[in-house]
Structure 1
């Protein structure tokens, strides 16, 4: 039984996700696995051969988003549930169930699907870093009880993994990219709303978030448009400056920026390099180091006094502003009533990412503090 309490961490290039999950399953381990690839972060909680919870910093992979875009809860019901969550710490699903916003069958079905989707997607990650930390395996009273057999999830995810890799080959990994239709005669039976969204110039990420489907289904449909020749994608991506030819160069430049007081700029430089080399251990260590400094700096400037952010733009104006996914997530939750700490508690973003998003929104004049 002592084996089941072991920690494990490393690179997905040397220990693929399937091997990590198999290691957890064979030991009936209880604990939390966190997997990171570039800006994407997922965590899974395990209890003796079952997955009992998953969290993601991608809005389209979150329970509230899935229930809302499918018309299963209203925006007002979700906003009220978030307020209760901020006050009590109870998980969103259990709150929605207690207030009658969803029934047990709907909640159970959605949570099971979210876990299976997250496992399948993560199994296709060829690189990144992971960390497993054991715990006693008891379920908190604040959670809604759900259990997905880990072995079954692995088997299902293994079948889907090749298609996930094909999707990434077709679309790349930049959800800020856009597609354009080049051969309408090759569109075939693609959904009308999907074609309309491409015509409107929406980004891949915006299309994923707007459709009442799981992320895989939408990305699969977009990839098929590219594979059929019906659509093309701009594959140009910001590259690392020529002068920064190695991780060591990036590290030196980032440390120089941080020493000069530009810690946020230093972090952005490291994150850009990690987008190209997500499993570089030195860069990941440097990112963690600079993030701690950035978090301390932003905590002092933003959290030292009680602040309630307010939107300075209308919903229509917001829709026309180019924002990062994190900025959109935070802006969507700001209603002039929640203070910063409460917003951070209910956001799926890590604390440092939430504070960075708040700072950028304020700097751009989108919110006031």
Structure 2
């Protein structure tokens, strides 16, 4: 056997994982869909290394969510990482910020969650290639058996059905009855933070960002509190805030063909209008995904990212709010917008906020650009 590839319609990912685990294979497994990539290294049927382009699946996010690391500590660790070739886990151990046993435990959790999250994808592609596997990276030896992940995935199918029946949408706001909480909350614990954020009126999606949590662990904890009758979905006649669709440049109409949209996107890109170029490239890719549209979208995203970095991060600039916090709470904002605004303290610069956030850098910088344009935030060079 030289390798294995296909899509989830012909072979679901959970079946791929079971197949590779049963045969105790070693190699590289790539899982992807719609711009999301997960790259896993396997050794004799176990995951020994994994990376993802999803910020919420970074090691630092798991450590923050579980209370082992603060955003400030993560930011300092990133600064130290620039001076070495080591990965974040090794830096945290070397600097005595997080014990090695905790880092190993969180790496194990990360490996599991990366695959289990992809088990929920309705479509996607996979590619497995047999290659020789070197020693564990940075001396942090973590192994997670694929068959254990497969068994956990079967359990979660039933768990998700129950959790979604109680919390059908991430835009729901909740109520909490503290008298019905089974145990006293420890200061600084996830439950303490969770209860306070619910009382602050955050939606479930906003809770996930504020806690740096994966969807499953957040919904699992909310469901446990729901079973205690301590947490319920708040009944409200006010529709929740929704993501604002990107505005399409006026030169393109709804009847335009993919070729026309691509042509205008290229014109905008050549003219250094990166924002509109990215909007149109994304629209073309959504209309008719292809290698051509994917490549143009990649080019426009990279060009826009570099432009926003120069505008918002070079030199370092510190954001401050121009509207009262009380007013922010009443504004119709998407979950990522509310999260980013909550992180503005007048001390950290844009780069520091973005670096430790559970959002893609480009997504976060686009929001910051909008904040400045709409007069919510001002930037001051450090």
User: After TM superposition, is the score higher than 0.5?
Assistant: yes
Aligned partner of residue 49 in structure 2, secondary structure: strand
2:152 counterpart of 1:150: no
Number of residue pairs matched by the alignment: 341
- Whether 1:289 and 2:289 are equivalent positions in the alignment is no
Alignment correspondent of 1:217: 217
- Matched ranges for 1:137-216 at <5 A: 137-139=133-135, 141-142=137-138, 144-168=140-164, 171=167, 175=170, 177-181=171-175, 194=194, 196-211=196-211, 215-216=215-216
Distance 1:86 1:368 in 2: 25
SS at match of 2:82: helix
Q: Match of 2:283? A: 269
Query: Structure 1: which 5+ runs fail to align?
Result: 242-247, 275-281
Preserved contact between residue 93 and residue 100 of structure 2 (Cα < 8 Å)? yes
| Structure 1 position 92, deviation (Å) | 0.9
Partner residue of 1:30? 27
Answer yes or no: is the 8 Å Cα contact 2:37–2:52 preserved in 1. yes
CA shift digits 1:183-202 (9 cap, x unpaired): 979x8869676455334321
CA distance in 1, matches of 2:71, 2:310: 31
* Counterparts of residues 289-328 of structure 1 (less than 5 Å): 289-298=295-304, 301=307, 307-313=314-320, 322=333, 325=336
SS in 2 for 1:64: helix
**Counterpart-to-counterpart distance in 2, 1:326 and 1:237:** 11
Normalized against structure 1, the TM-score is what? 0.69
- Find out whether 1:231 has 2:238 as its counterpart: no
Question: Aligned pair 1:94/2:111, yes or no?
Answer: no
Which has the larger displacement, 226-235 or 70-79?
A: 226-235
Asked if 1:85 corresponds to 2:99, the answer is: no
Task: Please state how far the C-alpha of 1:288 moved relative to its aligned partner.
Answer: 2.0
Residue 369 of structure 2 corresponds to which residue in structure 1?
Answer: 362
Q: For the structure 1 residues 165 and 208, does the alpha-carbon distance in structure 2 shift closer, same or farther, using more than 3 Å as the test? A: same
In 1, distance between residues paired with 2:309 and 2:138? Answer: 26
Aligned to 1:125: 121
Gap runs ≥5 in structure 2: 184-190, 247-254, 269-275
Whether contact under 8 Å (2:205, 2:335) holds in the other structure is: no
- What are the Cα deviations for residues 164-221 of structure 1, in whole angstroms up to 9, with x where unaligned? 354456545x74x23244x979x88696764553343212233124448764232134
Render the CA deviation track for 1:226-249: whole Å, top value 9, x for unaligned.
8989315868977999xxxxxx98
Mean CA deviation greater in 225-234 or 207-216: 225-234
- Output the CA distance in 2 between the equivalents of 1:202 and 1:23: 41
1:107 to 103, 110, 120: 103
Aligned counterparts of 2:46 and 2:113: Cα–Cα separation in 1: 15
State how far apart, in whole Å, the 2-side matches of 1:250 and 1:129 are: 27
Contact 1:17 1:123 (C-alpha < 8 Å) held by counterparts: yes
Return the alpha-carbon distance in structure 2 between the equivalents of residues 69 and 293 of structure 1. Answer: 33
SS of residue matched to 1:87: coil
CA–CA separation in structure 2 for the residues paired with 1:240 and 1:13: 30
TM-score (norm 2): 0.67
Distance in 1, Cα, partners of 2:296 & 2:182? 48
Structure 1 residue 16: deviation in Å?
A: 1.1
Q: CA deviation at 1:95?
A: 0.7
Report if aligned partners of 1:60, 1:208 keep a CA contact under 8 Å in 2.
no
C-alpha separation in 2, matches of 1:286 and 1:212: 35
2:62 corresponds in structure 1 to: 66
In structure 2, the partner of 1:245 is none
